[in-house]
Amino acid sequence: METENSTLSRAEELKLLANEAFKAHKFFQAIDLYNQAIKLNDQNAVYWANRAFAHIKLEEYGSAVQDASKAIEIDPKYSKGYYRRGAAYLSMGKFKEALKDFQQVKKIRPNDPDAAKKLKECEKAVMKLKFEEAIAVSESERRSIADSIDYHSIDVEPQYSGARIEGETVTLDFIRQMLDDFRSQKRLHKRYAFQIVLQAREMLRSLPSLVDVTIPSGKHFTVCGDVHGQFYDLLNIFEINGLPSEENPYLFNGDFVDRGSFSVEVILTLFAFKCLCPSAMHLARGNHESKSMNKIYGFEGEVRSKLSETFVGLFAEVFCCLPLAHVINGKIFVVHGGLFSVDGVQLADIKALDRFCEPPEEGLMCELLWSDPQPFPGRGPSKRGVGLSFGADVTKRFLQDNNLDLVVRSHEVKDEGYQIEHDGKLITVFSAPNYCDQMGNKGAFIRFEAPDLKPNIVTFSAVPHPDVKPMAYANNFFGLFS
């Protein structure tokens, strides 16, 4: 009996330490401590629900759903279990499942005004979703927004004092002026924004789904991970590593937008460099270059606020033109998410993918955008609830099958801005330092020099930005649950 009591009290101590780590935004550490508490006492619903919340903070929504479900199984009357699971479902865009959980919270806590408010917001989101589904036009019937826009016919008011594109060509002088304007939080005129996005679309849609990049001997190439709307940190990358040019080419490996509240500035900057010099700016699709993510995580609201409703649809179209992966000098495979649920996938299979659509919920395209590495062999369920987790053996086989040396991917925040895994055969690179103004992580990018292509990893810290909070343009209801 005494031993049992001391085990339970040690579990409680670990929970309190985990709570402190959580408050300090040390979410990985918090999860580790909750793991230890659960090992000592796996029948305490609070431990599972708290760990679910830490998973939510790390965007591991699949794991959060599992933990919250376990809390509910232990104590069906524990409202926080439903609450956490509902929040995780919301984050995955599964509004109907979320609604059921918030209805349970309201049932358990009928007099709680906060529970009532959240339920109401969730109901509104589900109603909106149903309405959008009802009026949606099928892909085959949909007319291209891009084809209906003539930016030449848009007048620029005499009082507009920002950057201007003279004629049809985006120049470096224009981009420098635009970056200065963005730095001072000035807007680019819609005429020039349309011009940049439409020209970038033409270039992107002509590319294959898997792009081969050649770096001549003695030259270098820089790969950046997620930027997530952190425009001032993007400027800092250019400060450290130079502006994109023929001599200084970049690949931005997806998740340019969402979360950070300067996503419009980021995407217009990357697209403008693509227009200036296509070989200086390579762009890959991330899981956040999709309608469902942009609806939840702020990009759609930001575009509506800074540009117009037309741009919402236009960006959705252009994101469907982004390539899915790159191969550098036939040796380095670069992809946003990761590898596959089946062995034997060839580069030719990726090249053959019809990418001109919203990402599906399964299959090769989904896995390229969503999967994550795991520290043990084989394959497992995704901690995100989409895609899968894959081990070093999966990475090794894929590299051997395709005569490649290395996988570079992004998609996950890392304390140092990068992580080398799978016996050195896989590198995660993440370029949004102090992610969402709260993670305290560094950012990183990788420079490869030909011919040896040895990865030179450069890390950097966050720089100050104007006082606009991350997710400032996200759906109102979403802010209630974060």
pLDDT tens readout for residues 224-251: 999 999 999 999 999 999 999 999 999 9
Q: What percent of the chain has pLDDT over 90?
A: 87
Residue 3 — very low, low, confident or very high, per pLDDT cuts 50/70/90?
Answer: confident
Examine the pLDDT at 395 and tell me if it is beyond 60: yes
pLDDT tens digit sequence for 52-66 = 999 999 999 999 999
pLDDT of residue 478: 57
Written as six digits, the tokens of 131 are 């309405």
Average confidence (pLDDT) over 363-390: 97
Catalytic residue (choose from 189, 228, 288, 422): 288
In the chain, the domains with their CATH numbers are 2-135 (1.25.40.10), 146-481 (3.60.21.10)
Closest CA to 321 of 208, 228, 170, 194: 208
Residue linked to tokens 């700016």: 281
366: CB partners within 8 A, 6+ apart: 359, 360, 386, 387
Average confidence (pLDDT) over 32-58: 96
Average confidence (pLDDT) over 92-102: 89
Quote the CA–CA distance of 355 and 361 in Å, as a whole number.
13
pLDDT of residue 104: 94
pLDDT of residue 371: 98
Examine the pLDDT at 141 and tell me if it is beyond 90: no
Closest CA to 358 of 410, 412, 295: 295
**Are 221 and 213 a contacting pair, CB within 8 Å?**
yes
Examine the pLDDT at 115 and tell me if it is beyond 90: no
Determine which of 140-149, 316-325, 340-349, 375-384 has the lowest per-residue pLDDT on average: 140-149
pLDDT of residue 474: 87
Phi first, then psi: what are they for 252, rounded to 5°?
-100, 120
pLDDT of residue 118: 78
Determine which of 117-121, 150-154, 264-268, 405-409 has the lowest per-residue pLDDT on average: 117-121
Q: What percent of the chain has pLDDT over 70?
A: 96
Residue 480 — very low, low, confident or very high, per pLDDT cuts 50/70/90?
Answer: low
Long-range own/partner contacts, residues 234-240 (CB < 8 A, 24 or more apart): 234/266, 234/269, 234/431, 235/179, 235/183, 235/463, 236/460, 236/463, 237/431, 237/443, 237/445, 237/460, 240/458, 240/460
Determine which of 97-106, 283-292, 462-471 has the lowest per-residue pLDDT on average: 97-106
Span between the terminal Cα atoms of the chain, in Å: 40
Residue linked to tokens 């009802």: 134
Residue 121 — very low, low, confident or very high, per pLDDT cuts 50/70/90?
Answer: confident
Examine the pLDDT at 302 and tell me if it is beyond 90: yes
Average confidence (pLDDT) over 312-321: 97
Examine the pLDDT at 433 and tell me if it is beyond 60: yes
Residue 420 to residues 194, 250, 304, 409, Cα–Cα distance (Å)? 40, 21, 39, 10
User: Model's pTM, two decimal places?
Assistant: 0.94
Residue linked to tokens 């004629």: 167
**Residue 288 is a catalytic residue:** yes
pLDDT of residue 340: 98
Count of CA atoms in the C-beta half-sphere (13 A) of 328: 32
pLDDT of residue 32: 97
Residue 136 — very low, low, confident or very high, per pLDDT cuts 50/70/90?
Answer: low
Q: Mean of the per-residue pLDDT values for the chain? A: 94
Written as six digits, the tokens of 330 are 């036939």
Q: Please give the biggest Cα pair distance in the chain.
A: 83
